[in-house]
Amino acid sequence: MSAIIKAEHLSFAYQGDEDTAPVQALKDVSFEIEEGSFVAILGHNGCGKSTLAKLLCMILSPDEGRLYINGRDMTAENIEEKDVYDARRRVGMVFQNPDNQLVATIVEEDVAFGCENLGIPSEKIRRRVDEALETVGMTKYARHATHRLSGGQKQRIAIAGVLAMRRKCIIFDESTAMLDPGGRKEVMDTICRLNREEGITVIHITHYMNEATMADRVLVMNEGSVIMDGTPSEVFSRADELWAAGLDVPQTTELLWKMKEAGYNVRLDIFDPEECAMEIARAISEKR
Amino acid sequence: MGKIELQNITYVYGKGAPYEIKALDDVSLTFEEGKIIGLIGHTGSGKSTLVQLLNGLIRPDAGKVLLDGKDIWQEPKKIRDVRFKVGLVMQYPEYQLFDETVWKDIAFGPRNMGMSDEEVKKAVTEAASFAGVKEKHFNKSPFDLSGGQKRRAALAGVIAMRPSVLVLDEPAAGLDPGARRRILTRIKDYQRQSGTTVIIVSHSMEDMAMYCDSVVVMNHGKVTMTGTPAQVFSRADELIAQGLDVPAITKVARALKDEGVDIGLDIYTVNFAAHRLFGGDGIEG
| Contact list, B20 vs chain A (CB under 8 Å) | none
Q: What is the pLDDT of residues B114-160, one digit of tens each?
A: 999 999 999 999 999 999 999 999 999 998 887 788 999 999 999 99
Q: For A103, left (φ over 0), alpha (ψ -120 to 50), or beta?
A: alpha
The distance of A51 to chain B (nearest Cα, Å) reads 15
The distance of B144 to chain A (nearest Cα, Å) reads 10
Q: Do A254 and B270 make contact, defined as CB atoms within 8 angstroms?
A: yes
Hey, which residues 171-210 in chain B have their CB within 8 Å of chain A? Answer: 173-180, 203, 205-206
Q: Do B177 and A44 make contact, defined as CB atoms within 8 angstroms?
A: yes
Burial zone of B182 (CB within 10 Å; 0-12 exposed, 13-18 middle, 19+ buried): middle
> pLDDT above 70 covers what percent of chain B?
98
Q: Do A281 and B174 make contact, defined as CB atoms within 8 angstroms?
A: no
For the stretch B104-113, contacts whose Cβ atoms lie closer than 8 Å and that sit 24 or more positions apart, written own/partner, are B105/B142, B105/B153, B105/B157, B106/B133, B106/B153, B106/B156, B106/B157, B106/B160, B107/B160, B108/B157, B109/B84, B109/B157, B109/B158, B109/B160, B109/B161, B110/B160, B110/B161, B113/B84, B113/B161
Structure confidence at residue B20 as a pLDDT band (50, 70, 90): confident
| Contact list, B148 vs chain A (CB under 8 Å) | 45
Q: What is the pLDDT of residues B170-201, one digit of tens each?
A: 898 878 888 888 899 999 999 999 999 999 99
Residue spans per domain, chain B = 4-246
Q: What is the pLDDT of residues A194-229, one digit of tens each?
A: 999 999 999 999 999 989 999 999 999 999 999 999
Whether the CB-CB separation of A196 and A163 falls below 8 Å is answered with no
- Count H helices and E strands in chain B, helices first: 11, 10
The residue-averaged pLDDT of A128-142 equals 93
* CATH classification number, B4-246, choose in 3.30.70.270, 3.40.50.300, 3.30.300.30, 3.40.50.620: 3.40.50.300
Q: What pLDDT does B284 receive?
A: 42
User: What's the whole-number average pLDDT of chain B?
Assistant: 91
Q: Do A183 and B206 make contact, defined as CB atoms within 8 angstroms?
A: no
The chain B residue lying nearest A264, using CA atoms, is B278
Measured at the alpha carbon of residue A16, what is the angle toward residues A11 and A19, in degrees to the nearest 5? 145
Whether the CB-CB separation of B169 and B87 falls below 8 Å is answered with no
Q: What pLDDT does A1 receive?
A: 59
**A182/A151 Cα distance (integer angstroms):** 10
Residue B260 at interface with chain A, using a CB cutoff of 8 Å: yes
Q: Do A277 and B277 make contact, defined as CB atoms within 8 angstroms?
A: no
Per-residue pLDDT for A10 more than 50? Answer: yes
- % helix, strand, coil for chain A, step of 5: 45, 25, 35
Count of all residues that appear for chain A in the document: 288
Q: What pLDDT does B92 receive?
A: 84
Per-residue pLDDT for B282 more than 50? Answer: no
The distance of A112 to chain B (nearest Cα, Å) reads 26
Q: What is the pLDDT of residues A65-116, one digit of tens each?
A: 999 998 889 988 888 888 888 888 889 999 888 888 889 999 999 999 999 9
Model confidence pTM above 0.95: no
Q: Do A45 and B278 make contact, defined as CB atoms within 8 angstroms?
A: no
Residue B281 at interface with chain A, using a CB cutoff of 8 Å: yes
Say which of A151, A179, A210 has its CB closest to residue B248: A210
Q: Provide the terminal-to-terminal Cα distance of chain A, rounded to the nearest Å.
A: 48
Whether the CB-CB separation of A245 and B263 falls below 8 Å is answered with no
**A277/A282 Cα distance (integer angstroms):** 9
The distance of A182 to chain B (nearest Cα, Å) reads 5
The chain B residue lying nearest A277, using CA atoms, is B256
Number of CB pairs, chain A paired with chain B, less than 8 A apart: 124
Q: What is the pLDDT of residues B69-121, one digit of tens each?
A: 999 999 999 999 999 999 999 888 888 899 999 999 999 999 999 999 999 99
**Predicted ipTM?**
0.78
Per-residue pLDDT for B283 more than 70? Answer: no
Per-residue pLDDT for B285 more than 60? Answer: no
Q: Do B148 and A45 make contact, defined as CB atoms within 8 angstroms?
A: yes
The distance of B71 to chain A (nearest Cα, Å) reads 32
Say which of A151, A177, A252 has its CB closest to residue B252: A252
The distance of A134 to chain B (nearest Cα, Å) reads 23
Per-residue pLDDT for A28 more than 60? Answer: yes
Q: What is the pLDDT of residues B192-237, one digit of tens each?
A: 999 999 999 998 888 999 999 999 999 999 999 999 999 999 999 9
| Contact list, B270 vs chain A (CB under 8 Å) | 251, 254-255, 258
Of A64, A90, A91, A73, residue with least CA distance to A224: A64
Whether the CB-CB separation of B203 and A181 falls below 8 Å is answered with yes
> Which residues are registered as beta bridge partners of A3?
A34
For the stretch B236-243, contacts whose Cβ atoms lie closer than 8 Å and that sit 24 or more positions apart, written own/partner, are B236/B265, B242/B41, B242/B42, B242/B45, B242/B217, B243/A180, B243/A181, B243/A182, B243/B42, B243/B45, B243/B219
The residue type found at B262 is D
Hey, which residues 31-70 in chain B have their CB within 8 Å of chain A? Answer: 41-44
Residue B277 at interface with chain A, using a CB cutoff of 8 Å: yes
Strands A38-42 and A23-34: unpaired
Whether the CB-CB separation of B212 and B36 falls below 8 Å is answered with yes
Rounded to whole angstroms, what are the CA distances from B32 to B41, B89, B249? 19, 19, 27
The chain A residue lying nearest B21, using CA atoms, is A148
**A163/A155 Cα distance (integer angstroms):** 12
